[in-house]
Structure 1
Amino acid sequence: MTGTIGIGSVVSGYRIQGKLGAGGMGTVYAAADPELPRLDALKVMSAELSADPEFRARFRREADIAASLDHPNIVSVYDRGESAEGRLWIAMQLVDGTDADAALRAGTMTPQRAVHIVAAVAEALDYAHSRRVLHRDIKPANFLLSGPVGPEERVLLSDFSIARAADDAGMTATNAVMTTMAYAAPEVLDGRNVDHRSDLYSLGCALFQLLTGRTPFADAPSMAAQAMAHLQRPAPRPSEFAPLTPAFDAVVGTAMAKDPAHRYPSGRALAAAAADALHRQAPPQPRFTPPPPPPRSRTGVKLAAAAGAALLVGAGVSAAVVLRDDPAPAPSAAPTTAAPAPAAVTLADADLPDALLPAEEISAVMGIPMQASGSSGGFYNDRLINVPECTAVMYPAQQSAFQNSGATAPFTQVVNPVDTQIKASVVQSVIAFGTAELARSFVDRQAGLWPGCAAKTAQVSKGSGEPTDDWRLGNTARTDETLTVTNSRVGSEVTCQRALRPVANVVVDVNACLTGAVGDRADTLAGQIADQISSGNGG
């Protein structure tokens, strides 16, 4: 067993269903449990670490300690063992969702959400510390998130003690050191005694990052300089990097105190101080709120489901699931002071359906007869992808991308070929924003995020336990007003172009898929929708 394990392979009874991620220590897979009807997260350690006698001993000991932890905010460890090929593995709870680092990069983090996440992680740490267990790898990527954004969002801390085993074994891989360095307590770096307050220092670093979008001492030009910053420089002030109350400066300053004795005595104390700072935060600026949706008939629900199914059949990718109407959006990002009054909305939410192109015009651009297959007035949530931060690069009208962006309402239509044997589809979406400035800012922000997904392979599936499709994500281009990227399905001739374009207070979001070269068809369609809105024919 070398390198990546193929889908369908069996590791100690676990049948591999898909790859979730990889790091310096090993690779994590979604795998069918050998005894129970569920999917587990199976972390298979690298061959190099598995062959290290000292690491093997510490891995077994620390995995057993992690398995003894039973807390609602800690990822459960089910089993550990060794494959027939000598690779160590650990089976853990599979969390259906994302992580705080991915949410941060997707632009969906707010001070309210950051404090909620840190409070849950603090509860997990206090429980572990009460059992004399240290985590020693506290960072947003290890904060797993599941469920609707808001007070009910579930937060689970993952990777308990496995990083400790790696550190003790002397692992010096660059990625592992860099990951630790951004959150490393001074006593960890200079060899002093380490206790639970080292985890709390790291949690303070994570809070700073969730509030500001950057790690502490991110300006340090090298790993050595970053280490010296943790040892010598004052804790950074969040209010200098984001529109936040200075009360957060005091919270981070205490959590990141050089002397452990000057830090918070517990995670709960840190979380309480962060909650108090949040209460001191100025309220968000007024934003447009979508009107309550009309009651959905059974026909309406079926229509929305049909839209997702059409996307699946036409493009050969995972189905888009329409979100229920009940989840409310999380509060908007922390405001600036003296914000200008919002500009008048030029396209009302109720007029969004009129902004879309008729099937005849789409047929002319795609070169084949097409017809509307379904429509939806809700955002989509395509979460079954191994690189969740790239979901918005593949799919239009994504909840994860538009959450807390100032968007007020979407409207989406799926258009498929009249001949069902032809593999092609168009998803055209128009998303209204409170102001034209917000719409343009959203596209500008995506222009900064999309390039990070270039050349990645995204594995997507219809659902848990279902087969996966691999998609190769392309390079991002920005011409005139439109942001585009072309993705291709691995092992197939299907290609899809995504296009984003701001016009007035609207973002036009189009995905066009075709067997063969899709060219600039999504760009063309987005341009035609934008022209229609600009001319006043869209509302």
Structure 2
Amino acid sequence: MGEVFAGRYELLDPIATGGMGTVWRVLDRVAGEVKAAKMLRQTDAAMLLRFVREQSVRIDHTHVVTPQSWAGVDDRVLFTMPLVRGGSVSGLMRRYGPLPPRWIAVLADQTLQALEAVHRAGIVHRDIKPGNLLLEPTGSSRPHLRLTDFGIAVPRDEPRLTHVAMVIGTPGYMPPEQHRGADPDPSADVYALGVVMLEMLTGQRPIDDDELPPIDVSGVRSGNAEHDAVLDVVVAATAYDPTRRPSAAELRAYPALRELVARWADPALRDGLEVVDEYPPTGAEPAAEL
């Protein structure tokens, strides 16, 4: 038996470790359920405030992972959330390489649904990347994505938790204006999703460069209609000028995206990808990157 935190949460296995703490698979002895739990030590005031912000985010949406409960013991705090058992988009790409356009379209569509809800709540996520796009284990059926990790999310009308000169986010997925210290804006999340879509299509991680040039997809166009339709959506999402980027709702309505999502319904067009249960009842679970 593992450590029982706060008399309630049995720590089973670490799932991921990062700058904001460690995510565990835990058994909630009161609810009788296995959940995910993020834990950190209360040693840094700014980090603790971000932790409090994250556990306070309550967005009731099928494509958003919502915190459920929290507890603290001595210098450690944790909050629980549903355990999403199919891994992440990052893991899916490690398993299969570049993803088929219809998969990309469905995953992007579901991420945009999540972002619509997040932005309606007045929140900017600020860390859209493959590792934060979790998947339910749906096998070869339509994937079900859930957006997670609101550790650096920020309400648009609240002060920053960092110095003006400090840039917060994951390099490669941040838009050019964020590198220049611009205030958080929903268009930054749309840009990051465009970068993720390009990564899913090509299998290439984005460039980490403070002086980001406009994204040029001309070299990766293939002449394949579905492939290039994804690129058309990428171009719109990653416009260098943030005022020219569509909102999450506008991007979701793009005809190219809608057509690809609709084509998922044709069984003849399915690909051999599967989202499997990464946390079976027995056996070791793979640790992921936060």
Mark yes or no: TM-score above 0.5: yes
Q: Does 1:331 align with 2:270?
A: yes
Whole-Å Cα distance in 2 between the matches of residues 330 and 19 of structure 1? 38
Aligned to 2:253: 272
Deviation at residue 247 of structure 1 after TM alignment: 3.5
**Match of 2:124, SS?**
coil
Deviation at residue 243 of structure 1 after TM alignment: 6.4
**Match of 2:188, SS?**
helix
Q: Does 1:33 align with 2:22?
A: no
Whole-Å Cα distance in 1 between the matches of residues 107 and 285 of structure 2? 31
Q: Does 1:53 align with 2:37?
A: no
Decide whether aligned partners of structure 1 residues 91 and 242 sit closer, same or farther in structure 2, where only a CA change above 3 A counts.
farther
Aligned to 1:503: none
**Match of 2:63, SS?**
coil
Aligned to 1:259: 241
Q: Does 1:21 align with 2:10?
A: no
Output one character per residue of 1:3-42: Cα deviation in whole Å (capped at 9) or x when no partner.
Answer: xxxx611222210121212122221111011310111101
Computed over aligned residues only, the root mean square deviation of the Cα atoms, in angstroms, reads 3.2
Decide whether aligned partners of structure 1 residues 16 and 242 sit closer, same or farther in structure 2, where only a CA change above 3 A counts.
farther
Structure 1: which 5+ runs fail to align?
1-6, 171-175, 218-222, 282-327, 334-378, 385-461, 472-539
Q: How many residues are paired up?
A: 270
Deviation at residue 259 of structure 1 after TM alignment: 1.4
Whole-Å Cα distance in 1 between the matches of residues 3 and 162 of structure 2? 29
Instruction: Give yes or no for contact 2:63–2:110 (8 Å, CA) kept in 1.
Output: yes
Whole-Å Cα distance in 2 between the matches of residues 140 and 16 of structure 1? 26
Aligned to 1:83: 73
Paired residue type of 2:278:
R
Deviation at residue 156 of structure 1 after TM alignment: 0.5
Decide whether aligned partners of structure 1 residues 329 and 382 sit closer, same or farther in structure 2, where only a CA change above 3 A counts.
farther
Residue 10 of structure 1, aligned match among 4, 13, 17: 4
Deviation at residue 238 of structure 1 after TM alignment: 7.0
Decide whether aligned partners of structure 1 residues 128 and 380 sit closer, same or farther in structure 2, where only a CA change above 3 A counts.
closer
Deviation at residue 143 of structure 1 after TM alignment: 0.9
Structure 2: which 5+ runs fail to align?
155-159
Aligned to 2:215: 235
Aligned to 1:383: 278
Deviation at residue 201 of structure 1 after TM alignment: 0.8
Whole-Å Cα distance in 1 between the matches of residues 285 and 238 of structure 2? 42
Output one character per residue of 1:370-401: Cα deviation in whole Å (capped at 9) or x when no partner.
Answer: xxxxxxxxx996733xxxxxxxxxxxxxxxxx
Whole-Å Cα distance in 1 between the matches of residues 34 and 178 of structure 2? 36
Residue 81 of structure 2, aligned match among 89, 92, 98: 92
Whole-Å Cα distance in 2 between the matches of residues 148 and 101 of structure 1? 16
Output one character per residue of 1:328-365: Cα deviation in whole Å (capped at 9) or x when no partner.
Answer: 797349xxxxxxxxxxxxxxxxxxxxxxxxxxxxxxxx
Paired residue type of 1:37:
G
Q: Between the two proteins, what is the percent identity of the paired residues?
A: 26
Q: Does 1:106 align with 2:95?
A: yes
Whole-Å Cα distance in 1 between the matches of residues 276 and 107 of structure 2? 21
Whole-Å Cα distance in 2 between the matches of residues 117 and 150 of structure 1? 14
Deviation at residue 58 of structure 1 after TM alignment: 3.6
Q: Does 1:136 align with 2:158?
A: no
Deviation at residue 268 of structure 1 after TM alignment: 2.9
Decide whether aligned partners of structure 1 residues 249 and 61 sit closer, same or farther in structure 2, where only a CA change above 3 A counts.
closer
Q: Normalising by the residue count of structure 1, what TM-score does the alignment of the two structures yield?
A: 0.45
Whole-Å Cα distance in 2 between the matches of residues 99 and 279 of structure 1? 20
Paired residue type of 2:186:
H
Q: Greater Rg, structure 1 or structure 2?
A: 1
Whole-Å Cα distance in 2 between the matches of residues 51 and 111 of structure 1? 44
Instruction: Give yes or no for contact 1:116–1:151 (8 Å, CA) kept in 2.
Output: no
Aligned to 1:145: 135
Decide whether aligned partners of structure 1 residues 275 and 26 sit closer, same or farther in structure 2, where only a CA change above 3 A counts.
same
Q: Does 1:206 align with 2:101?
A: no
**Match of 1:29, SS?**
strand
Q: Does 1:116 align with 2:109?
A: no
Q: Normalising by the residue count of structure 2, what TM-score does the alignment of the two structures yield?
A: 0.81
Decide whether aligned partners of structure 1 residues 137 and 242 sit closer, same or farther in structure 2, where only a CA change above 3 A counts.
farther
Whole-Å Cα distance in 1 between the matches of residues 76 and 218 of structure 2? 43
Paired residue type of 1:268:
A
**Match of 1:92, SS?**
strand
Aligned to 1:192: 182
Aligned to 1:309: none
Decide whether aligned partners of structure 1 residues 329 and 135 sit closer, same or farther in structure 2, where only a CA change above 3 A counts.
farther
Deviation at residue 147 of structure 1 after TM alignment: 3.1
Deviation at residue 76 of structure 1 after TM alignment: 1.9
Deviation at residue 249 of structure 1 after TM alignment: 3.1
Aligned to 1:349: none
Paired residue type of 2:230:
F
**Match of 1:183, SS?**
coil
Whole-Å Cα distance in 1 between the matches of residues 261 and 271 of structure 2? 15
Decide whether aligned partners of structure 1 residues 163 and 16 sit closer, same or farther in structure 2, where only a CA change above 3 A counts.
same
Instruction: Give yes or no for contact 1:247–1:280 (8 Å, CA) kept in 2.
Output: no
Paired residue type of 1:9:
E
Whole-Å Cα distance in 2 between the matches of residues 249 and 470 of structure 1? 35
Instruction: Give yes or no for contact 1:150–1:330 (8 Å, CA) kept in 2.
Output: no
Instruction: Give yes or no for contact 2:24–2:37 (8 Å, CA) kept in 1.
Output: yes
